[in-house]
A = this chain, B = another copy of it.
């Protein structure tokens, strides 16, 4: 046990995800040895994020006003909505520069083990967005794991009867990967989704 303030900091750091007691101690001593200005900047960044960041009323992405940058951008198409689990998925897709529509962030995936059901996700807000008929396609970009697939299946059953095209991101071999290292499920999906390329 350290003296008061050091132990308090170690305890607080240890509550962060992925930070164990050893890392918390290492970070605390790093900060002790750092310039006060650096530590103050971190403390201010923490307070700023809580003071300024909220969630977009339309899509659920992180935002610094009522609507996020993407929902507020008039150059983006209103006909396609890409549904993702978390704001970090929006960032990942934006990096590809492939998609110019809007997003909808669910805030997670259906997960019976962790007691997350459809009512815990922003699904009713998605239905409201689809109600006026402006959206012609919904791309389900939930994670390619059990929870993400279950969520995509649930959503496709809900949305398809509305006459909206529902699509799912392709599964297959990662680009730049080695076929022999692909797991069997991924390789199976790559076969299933094979495309005719010649003749």
Contact = CB atoms under 8 A, between A and B. Distances in A.
Interface of A: 1-6, 8-9, 11-13, 15-19, 23, 25-32, 36, 38-53, 62-64, 68-69, 86-88, 91
Nearest to A26: B17
B47 A40 contact: yes
Contact of A49 (B5, B47, B62, B69): B5
Contacts of A69: 3
> In the complex this chain forms, how many copies of it are found?
2
B27 A46 contact: no
Given A16-B27, A86-B29, A5 B52 contact: yes
Contact of A31 (B30, B32, B50): B50
Closest 4 pairs (CB-CB, A-B): A43-B43, A9-B45, A43-B46, A12-B45
Contact of A2 (B9, B26, B43, B91): B91
